[in-house]
A = this chain, B = another copy of it.
Amino acid sequence: MERMTIIGLGLIGGSLGLALKATKLPNVEIVGYDTDTIAAVDARRVGAVDKTEHTLQRATANAGMVILATPIVAMRQVMEEMASGLRENCIVTDTASTKSLVMEWAGQLLPPHVSFVGGHPMAGKETAGIANADARLFAGKAYCIVPSPAATESAVKLVAGLVHLIGAQPLFIDAHEHDRYVAAVSHLPLVLSSALFTLVRGSPAWPELAALASSGFRDLTRLASGDPELSHDICLTNREAILHWLERMADELSRYRELLAEGQEEALFKHFTRVQLDRDTFMTAGPPTRPRVAADVPDAGEQLVSLLVGERLVRRAREIRKLLSERPPEGRTPPKGDGRPPEERRRP
């Protein structure tokens, strides 16, 4: 019986457990651990895990794979505490929303006989906790995979297989790239959502504004209801990239202010027409080209234990690990001018 352990039984850990259990992997036991014993009991009750353990050490010892699904900031200590008890060739992965620091911690804290392969499912809800866990949470979603330089090829394959098994799309990516990209598409929206809410909520006219607020305001502020611990951890561990995108957003809003202040009817109309076209294209056609970070995925029916991965996926994983191993050791700050992408096309 192979043991797969999930540390942290909240929305993501619980959903992973449910999704894995739904695949009915033969000879695999899903073990759970959470410092919150109520969450642990609930996870067992809803069938997200086969059993739970009372200590982190007991839960992780003898595990073939450990999945860290705790709050980001807590992962460092979890790694520290479980490191010495991990068995030979154990595969450790995580689900943190930011990757650079987590990869750094893994490199420093985990023993060399362990393969760390970072992960980040691009899925979530604003309702946290095991009570909201859902086996279908990852279905059709992108799932970033960030192999560490020391990870074995089979460990990378196994994590990709796991991702595939729960219905998600593996996407191989480097940690710093990841953090800069999610700062744009996840963390900037989070901060905007929160800022829009605090701005309007802080108005003396709030009672009237709230009475008039319709689906637009509700949708735009949805992320403001997200788990505060997650928002906090994201802001702490991806600060530079978020600050960068917040600056760019301020510039973009200045451009919109100019566009409005000029009041050029035709320019305004053309602009909004273009925006609608572009977004509709994005929503219907998806990403414009196969992104270079994408990976081939194994066939749908395959199971983790008999995983066969296409050549391109292996090649891409190799490239990334080569890239990483050639890179000089680095701190928290991404190497190229704190991650600022090259000069961008401007619209409007």
Q: Taking beta carbons and an 8 Å cutoff, which residues of A are in contact with B?
A: 122-124, 141-142, 144, 171, 173, 177, 180-182, 184-186, 188-229, 231-232, 235-236, 239, 242-243, 245-250, 252-257, 260-261, 263, 265, 268-269, 272-273, 275-276, 278-280, 282-283, 286-294, 341-342, 344-348
Question: How many Å lie between the Cα of A216 and that of B220 in the bound state?
Answer: 9
Please tell me which one of the listed residues B205, B222, B252, B269 contacts residue A199 in the complex, with CB atoms under 8 A apart: B252
The distance from the CB of A340 to the nearest CB of chain B, in whole angstroms, is: 11
Question: How many Å lie between the Cα of A346 and that of B195 in the bound state?
Answer: 11
Question: How many Å lie between the Cα of A311 and that of B278 in the bound state?
Answer: 51
The chain B residue with its CB closest to the CB of A180 is: B205
Q: CB-CB < 8 A to A292: which residues of B?
A: 207-208
Whether A246 lies near B257 (C-beta < 8 A) is yes
Q: CB-CB < 8 A to A348: which residues of B?
A: 198
Asked if A283 meets B235 with Cβ closer than 8 Å, knowing A142-B211, A197-B278, the reply is no
The distance from the CB of A97 to the nearest CB of chain B, in whole angstroms, is: 11
Asked if A287 meets B171 with Cβ closer than 8 Å, knowing A219-B219, A246-B257, the reply is no
In addition to A181-B205, A246-B260, 10 A-B residue pairs with Cβ atoms within 8 Å of each other are A184-B203, A184-B209, A195-B253, A207-B292, A216-B223, A219-B223, A225-B276, A236-B265, A246-B257, A250-B250
Nearest 4 pairs between A and B by C-beta?
A228-B272, A210-B287, A228-B273, A189-B220
Question: How many Å lie between the Cα of A346 and that of B342 in the bound state?
Answer: 35
Of the candidates A185, A215, A217, A292, the one having the most CB atoms from chain B within 10 angstroms of its own CB is: A185
Please tell me which one of the listed residues B189, B204, B228, B341 contacts residue A204 in the complex, with CB atoms under 8 A apart: B341
Whether B198 lies near A275 (C-beta < 8 A) is yes
Whether B246 lies near A220 (C-beta < 8 A) is no
Q: CB-CB < 8 A to A260: which residues of B?
A: 191, 235, 239, 242-243, 246
Whether B225 lies near A283 (C-beta < 8 A) is yes
Q: CB-CB < 8 A to A242: which residues of B?
A: 260
